[in-house]
Copies of this chain bind each other. A is one copy, B any other.
């Protein structure tokens, strides 16, 4: 009986269990709706353990070896060395074990400028009897075998016109408009040649500003004061003994005001794209210009006659910097001599490649997190740009391995771009944004740029839209500062560069992307995509160098990088960890980690400055700043509202379309600040908050520039432009605020 009962109980239990199992798994729940398999995926948030894993796998030695490979030969845009790096990137990104889902190249036919190897540019001092008294170096002095590579391009000013200029030398400081203006008060500049130093004005501007005064040609050099903390000698002082620039080192560069291919503005430079006639290109020098080393600059400047230049114009040479007579002192060996430029640059339309790679998103493949850096250098480009490329390759190796092993796939898609021809004017990235304008505008969450990953090994430096501050902080807090015990990158950063936020107290200072210094430009200014730029940089108490001294010279080599910039590659590693952390958070967070209240804080700061600088004079002209004040207040209150919605919603359990709605509000915020007509002279600048500005005021760029013009001319049509721009600006900010409030 007991047995029977037991059997009965047992069989009853078995039947019950079977029933339970059938009930649980066997009945299709289509009527009440079975929980679909995708439900967990769409609600998934960023996985902190994945980030831990990522951080631990980022390897400094891998970065070092990437850099060694990338810097084997010079890889100036469109050269054989460039093609070698294209192949290297493709090989890495197509690796079945550590590569991305897909990688390919995209080509553009772009307008570049080169010197002629058979007919090198020449700078000479020529006596009245046509004797050459001095010839500037044509190539930098060789200290390591790198510099002997025949592919090291002669120092030159890309886009300087070919031509010959001969005249008495004058010293024009930094070649700013005010410099030439001052100089012209003392000297008739017609027929002269000006020597200028780097800094203070854009490269092209040094020549463009000179031409109206009748200057025939311009030289430019890097003063040891600005780059070497005054040091000048290669006997024990400069590279290869330190990171400082040897006397013959010359900064190359693009002498070009605009960004993107110059012949195809606002269009992708494809083979059959319409090209404007080369003579219609604007923003490049109209007189020859050539860079020289400070060794040659010393020889020229210290012999100059005329009055002594003002104190602010003096550099590190052990002589007084005179204006020039024009020309040299009567006591000089060069007395009565001219300086002569013979420039043989030529322009050429050449095929430049971007290398692209993607990791497909699992849940929202139509949302892109883009990470990029240029690939082309001037010479070996160990720091610029290969430090960044080495970091990118390490980051894609770690992420690619996780993907290839099936351990992880990001929620959103990741796109990696290795841009071509950046050094000539951010060309590869600009053409990419022109070609894919609609798609990128609609779908891009953010762009992360890591160009020069490590300028120096002291501290993190980051710039970006204010909405990314939070994510930079979160990432930097999780990474150990290189060379410091139990200090995070964040804690180290806040010591070097901080500000007091009304809302958050003392925090690291995040810079703004208002210029066009690297490939973020087209993303920020043309597409209005939330962007950031990340690097490791200087301890400013230890150097005044305007940039790392080997910048754009033949000395920017693996040896230089590994011995003087980042021995052990630990700062590179910190950047890879920080940038990768940012990237994963952007790709995997359920709610995008972009903060619109931080944006409001910066708009308020800009507004405060604008009120202080402009309100009094504008009121006197019946131009009210009230609409701008109201717009910023609307933005603040809309941002607070959206923050509240995010904070008080249980988004993991609500419809995925609600998360998507909020994410779209965050993603598209910067797009709302675009106005393609806001800056009629520079349509590539459309973001009314971050456009470039000449006025140099820490406030809204278009307003500052319009005000400066009106104030200096006093013309009522210029005051009208101020009023016009105030309306453009106020309405853009109101428009952005409208996108943050309840969607209906």
When chains A and B are docked, how far (Å) is the Cα of A626 from the Cα of B25?
59
Instruction: Please indicate the chain B residues that have their CB under 8 angstroms from the CB of A677 in the complex.
Output: 266, 676, 683
Q: 14 interchain pairs (CB within 8 A)?
A: A12-B15, A15-B16, A23-B23, A23-B26, A38-B655, A41-B655, A268-B731, A272-B727, A274-B720, A364-B661, A439-B738, A442-B668, A656-B656, A660-B660
Contact of A739 among B442, B655, B664 (CB under 8 A): B442
Task: Tell whether A22 is near chain B: CB-to-CB under 8 Å.
Answer: yes
A738:B438 contact, CB within 8 angstroms: yes
Q: Given A16-B19, A435-B731, A743-B443, answer yes or no on A274-B724 (Cβ-Cβ < 8 Å).
A: yes
Instruction: Please indicate the chain B residues that have their CB under 8 angstroms from the CB of A36 in the complex.
Output: 35, 39, 653, 655
Q: Identify the A interface with B (CB < 8 A).
A: 8, 11-12, 15-27, 29, 32-36, 38-42, 264, 266-268, 270, 272-274, 358, 360-361, 363-366, 368, 413, 415, 434-439, 442-443, 624, 626-627, 653-657, 660-661, 664-665, 668, 671-672, 675-677, 683, 720, 723-724, 726-728, 731, 734-736, 738-739, 743-744
CB distance from A384 to the nearest CB of B (A): 30
When chains A and B are docked, how far (Å) is the Cα of A358 from the Cα of B743?
11
The 6 closest A-B pairs by CB, nearest first: A19-B19, A23-B23, A438-B672, A20-B23, A366-B743, A23-B24
When chains A and B are docked, how far (Å) is the Cα of A15 from the Cα of B736?
60
Instruction: Please indicate the chain B residues that have their CB under 8 angstroms from the CB of A41 in the complex.
Output: 655
CB distance from A655 to the nearest CB of B (A): 4
Instruction: Please indicate the chain B residues that have their CB under 8 angstroms from the CB of A266 in the complex.
Output: 675, 677
B676:A744 contact, CB within 8 angstroms: no
When chains A and B are docked, how far (Å) is the Cα of A671 from the Cα of B626?
33
Q: How many copies does the complex hold?
A: 2
Nearest CB in chain B to that of A20: its residue:
B23
A29:B35 contact, CB within 8 angstroms: yes
When chains A and B are docked, how far (Å) is the Cα of A743 from the Cα of B361?
10
Which interface residue of A15, A32, A657, A727 has the most chain B CB atoms within 10 A? Answer: A657
Instruction: Please indicate the chain B residues that have their CB under 8 angstroms from the CB of A738 in the complex.
Output: 436, 438-439
Nearest CB in chain B to that of A668: its residue:
B442
Instruction: Please indicate the chain B residues that have their CB under 8 angstroms from the CB of A656 in the complex.
Output: 42, 655-657
B366:A735 contact, CB within 8 angstroms: no
B19:A15 contact, CB within 8 angstroms: yes
Q: Given A626-B272, A677-B676, answer yes or no on A436-B735 (Cβ-Cβ < 8 Å).
A: yes
When chains A and B are docked, how far (Å) is the Cα of A34 from the Cα of B12?
27
Instruction: Please indicate the chain B residues that have their CB under 8 angstroms from the CB of A26 in the complex.
Output: 20, 23
CB distance from A672 to the nearest CB of B (A): 4
Instruction: Please indicate the chain B residues that have their CB under 8 angstroms from the CB of A626 in the complex.
Output: 272
Q: Given A18-B16, A368-B744, answer yes or no on A739-B32 (Cβ-Cβ < 8 Å).
A: no
Nearest CB in chain B to that of A16: its residue:
B19
Instruction: Please indicate the chain B residues that have their CB under 8 angstroms from the CB of A731 in the complex.
Output: 267-268, 270, 273, 434-435
Q: Given A27-B24, A664-B366, A723-B274, answer yes or no on A739-B438 (Cβ-Cβ < 8 Å).
A: yes
Nearest CB in chain B to that of A672: its residue:
B438
Nearest CB in chain B to that of A361: its residue:
B744
When chains A and B are docked, how far (Å) is the Cα of A415 from the Cα of B364?
28
When chains A and B are docked, how far (Å) is the Cα of A620 from the Cα of B435?
28
Q: Given A33-B39, A655-B41, A655-B656, answer yes or no on A267-B438 (Cβ-Cβ < 8 Å).
A: no
Q: Given A272-B627, A439-B738, A683-B677, answer yes or no on A20-B27 (Cβ-Cβ < 8 Å).
A: yes
CB distance from A19 to the nearest CB of B (A): 2
Q: Given A12-B12, A661-B365, A744-B361, answer yes or no on A32-B33 (Cβ-Cβ < 8 Å).
A: no
Nearest CB in chain B to that of A24: its residue:
B23
When chains A and B are docked, how far (Å) is the Cα of A413 from the Cα of B661?
13
